[in-house]
Structure 1
Amino acid sequence: MSAHNPSLRPWRDIDRRKCRQIMVGKVPVGGDAPVSVQTMTNTLTSDAKATIDQIRRCEEAGVDIIRVSCPDVESTAAMKQIVRASRVPIVADIHFHYKRALEAADAGAACLRINPGNIGSSERVREVVNAAKANGCAIRIGVNAGSLEKDLLEKYGEPCPEALVESALDHIKLLQDHDFHEFKVAVKASDVFLAVAAYQQLADAVDCPLHLGITEAGGLIGGTVKSAIGIGNLLWAGIGDTIRVSLSAEPEEEVRVGFEILKSLGIRTRGVRIVSCPSCARQGFDVIRTVQKLEERLQHINTPLSLSVLGCVVNGPGEARETDIGLTGGGKGKHMVYLSGITDHTVEDEDMVDHIVRLVEAKAAEIEAEASDAGTAEPVAAE
C-alpha cells in the first residue's frame, strides 16, 4: 500500500457505530464491512439495454450496489436480463405495488426497497417477506421527509426527526413481526439539519445497518456540497454503512462524489486522491486545466494512491512530501516531479500530463504487485 497512508495517524480515526451485518447479494453491509457506495439508474427499466449500459458506466466508476426502479410489469419483466448482466447487486425500487416486489424478488433482485406500511394488509407484507426469504433478498426501508404518513404529519405538524424515526420504527416492526431481520433503513430529507438529526436519533434506537443520503440534494455542485455536509457529518460521527449521493446528474457522477466523500474521511481509499491548489498568478502552468485532464484520465485507476499538483514552490514541496507523486510548477516551462516525497526529476509543459499519467499507472502497478506478493491484495469493495 501507499507509504503515505492517512489511516496510520490516530487523530484521523473514526469510531464506527456497531451494528449487525446483512448481505445485499455478495456485498456485506454493516458490521465491520466497508461503507458501500450506491446509485440509481434513470433509464426506463423496461429498456434493458439502456439500463445495462448505464449500470456498466457506474460499475466502471466503482459502484458497489445499484438501484433500479420497478414501477410496472414491463420493468420487472426486464429484471432477469438486467440482473444477469450486472456485476453488482441490484436493488429493486418498489413503492406501492406489492406484486412488483414479488416479481422483482423472483427475477433475482438482491434487495427490495419498500416501505411495508405502504403496501396494504398484513397478508401482503407476509407475501413480500416470504418472497424475500425464498430468494435471499434483503429489504431497505426508505423513509423520506417528502412522503411521510398522513397520521404522523397530523401528529407532529410537519416533518421532523421524531416523525421520520417513528415512521422507520413502525416499518421495522412490520418486518420483525414476520420474523424478517435482513433489512437496512434510511431516513432521508432534503434538509441537511433534519436528515442528520433523524439519523442520529435512529442510530441510537436500532441495531440494523443505516443507508445514508440527503435526498433531492440538487445539481452537481450544490448537491455535492449538501451531500458532503450531511453524509460527511454522519460518517465522521461513525454513523452510516452504505451511502447514495442524490444528484440531478448522471448516476456515475453520484458514484464519483460518493467515493470522494469517503476518501476525504479516509474511510475508503479507492483510486487517486488528488491534492491541488486553486491556482494564482504564481502558477508555473495552468493548474485548473491540468487537474481537469488528470481527473479524467485517471478515472480507470482503482489502486489507492495520492497525487499533488501545485502551481508553484510556495506549498508544492510540502504537499509533495505527503503524496506518492507530486508535481510543482517551475520556471521556463520546466516543472519538478517528486516520487514518494523526494525530488526526482523535471518535466516540460508539453509532456506534463502524459508523463504524470504514466507515473501514476506505474505506481499503481507497483502497489498492486507488492500487495499480491505479500498476500494482502483485496478486492476494491473490501477496502
Structure 2
Amino acid sequence: MERKKTRRIMVGSVPIGDGAPVAVQSMTVNDTRNIPATLEEIQKLASVGCEIIRLAVVDMEAAEAVGKIRKQSPIPVIADIHFDYHLALKVLEGGVDAIRINPGNIGSQEKVRAIVDRMKDKGLPIRIGVNAGSLERDLLEQYGHPVPEAMVESALRHVQLLEKEGFYDIKISLKASNVPDTIDAYTLMSERCDYPLHIGVSEAGPLLSGTVKSAVGLGYLLAHGIGDTIRVSLAADPVEEVKVAWGILKSLNLRQRGVNVIACPTCGRLEIDVVGIAQRVEERLAHIKETMDVSILGCVVNGIGEGKEADLGIAGGQGVGIYFENGEVVKKIKDTDIEEFIIQQVEARAQNMRDGKIPAAGKNGLPMHPAMGRS
C-alpha cells in the first residue's frame, strides 16, 4: 500500500509523518497528579509497545506533575489541555514533548500567540483534536449533525489560528464513535491538507465491540495510506488498547513486533486443544519483542502446508505433533509436550535474534518495533 505523503514532525524521539512508521499511542487512566501511579502505568504501557503517551491536565497541580513525570518517562509525553492556556504554558515550563489543545477554545488570538511562541522556541508540535461530540454550535446549526464535513471545517479553523502565527508543526485528529463518519472525515481531511493525521475511533466501546470498530475503521484508513499515528480507544485497560493497535498494524504488514500466533479455527477434525494451547502460548510469549510467526494447527488437512509458512510451528493430531522450523519438518513430539516445547523454541529463537545469530525481523523483512528512549 502507498502511504499518503505528509509533513514530518517530531514528538520527542518519535518521528511522525513523511513515511515514518505509524506510531502507537495511548492515554493514562490514572490521575496525572498521582505521579507514582502514572509512572507505573506508563512503564507498563511502554513494555507492550506504546510509543507515545498522553496525560490529562485538569488543573495547575496536574500541569506541574507532567514535568516530573516526563523526566522519568521512557516514552514521549503529550499534555492534553482544554480551554485554559495557562496550563499549556505551565507544562511547557516543566518539560513536555507536545501538547494537545484546540486553539479556538482557549480565548483570544493573543493567548494562542503566547502558546505558539513558546512552542516555536522549544521546537515542539501541537495536536489539534476534533471530536464529533464537541463541535462548535454554529457548525452544528449549519450542518444539522456532526457530519464529516463539519468536523473537517472545525479542524481547519483551529489550523488557521496556528498558521496565522506562522506555526506549522501540527498533527490533526478527527474522531467519531461512528465508523463510517470517522473514515469519511479522515479521508476528506487527507485531501485538504498534508499535516500528519492521528487516527482513532472515539469511544469505540468495550474490549470486543471496540476492537471490531477500531479494526474496521482504522484498518480501512491505514490500508488506503491514511494515518501517521494510531490510538485504539477502548473502555478497557489501556494495555489492551496498545495490543489491539499493534494487532491492526501487524495485520497490514505496516509494523512488526513480537510473536504472531497463527492458529486454525476449531472444527470436528481437531485432535489437540488448539484453542487452549494458542491462547496460553500467546499470553506466555507476550514479553517477546522479537518478530516471528508461530503456527499452532490442529489437523493434517492444512496443518503441514500452513505450518511451513511460519518461522516455526506445530501441526498436531493422533497423539503427536509435527514441529516445523523455517519451512522444514524438524521432529515429532508428543501432543502432551506441544505447549512447553513451542515456548522453549520461541524463547531460544528470540535469544538468537538478540545475539545476532539470525535476523531480527520477520519473513517480510519489515523492521521490528524500535526501542524508543527519552529525547
* Both structures adopt the same fold (TM-score exceeding 0.5): yes
Distance 1:216 1:153 in 2: 20
Counterpart check, 1:52 vs 2:39: yes
Distance 1:134 1:44 in 2: 29
Specify the alignment match of 2:348 in structure 1: 362
Specify the alignment match of 1:381 in structure 2: 370
Secondary structure in structure 2 of the residue aligned to 1:279: coil
Distance 2:54 2:299 in 1: 44
Q: 1:252 to 1:207 in 2, by over 3 A?
A: same
Q: Normalization by structure 2: what TM-score?
A: 0.94
Q: CA deviation at 1:377?
A: 11
Counterpart check, 1:18 vs 2:13: no
Asked whether the 8 Å contact 2:211–2:244 carries over to 1, the reply is yes
1:60-118, Cα deviation, whole Å (9 max, x unpaired): 10111011100111211211221011111001011111111111122211010111101
Specify the alignment match of 1:292 in structure 2: 279
Distance 1:15 1:322 in 2: 26
Aligned length: 366
Specify the alignment match of 1:5 in structure 2: none
Distance 1:127 1:347 in 2: 68
Secondary structure in structure 2 of the residue aligned to 1:175: helix
Secondary structure in structure 2 of the residue aligned to 1:329: strand
Specify the alignment match of 1:126 in structure 2: 113
Specify the alignment match of 1:181 in structure 2: 168
Secondary structure in structure 2 of the residue aligned to 1:380: coil
Q: Which amino acid aligns with 2:331?
A: H
Q: Which amino acid aligns with 2:83?
A: F
RMSD: 1.7
Specify the alignment match of 1:232 in structure 2: 219
Q: Which amino acid aligns with 1:61?
A: V
Asked whether the 8 Å contact 2:316–2:335 carries over to 1, the reply is no
Distance 2:316 2:271 in 1: 4
Q: CA deviation at 1:371?
A: 3.9
Q: Which amino acid aligns with 2:350?
A: A
Specify the alignment match of 1:7 in structure 2: none
Judge which range, 107-116 or 237-246, deviates more. 107-116
Specify the alignment match of 2:135 in structure 1: 148
Q: Normalization by structure 1: what TM-score?
A: 0.92
Judge which range, 361-370 or 199-208, deviates more. 361-370
Specify the alignment match of 1:84 in structure 2: 71
Distance 2:80 2:370 in 1: 23
Written as runs of structure 1 = structure 2, the 5 A alignment for 1:1-383 is 14-332=1-319, 334-368=320-354, 369=356, 370-371=358-359, 380-381=369-370
Structure 2 unaligned runs (5+)?
none
Distance 1:377 1:254 in 2: 22
- Large movers: runs of 4+ above 4 Å: 376-379
Q: Which amino acid aligns with 2:215?
A: A
Distance 1:34 1:381 in 2: 10
Q: 1:202 to 1:143 in 2, by over 3 A?
A: same
1:237-260, Cα deviation, whole Å (9 max, x unpaired): 000000000001111110010000
Specify the alignment match of 1:4 in structure 2: none
Secondary structure in structure 2 of the residue aligned to 1:143: strand
Judge which range, 276-285 or 60-69, deviates more. 276-285
Q: CA deviation at 1:382?
A: 8.0
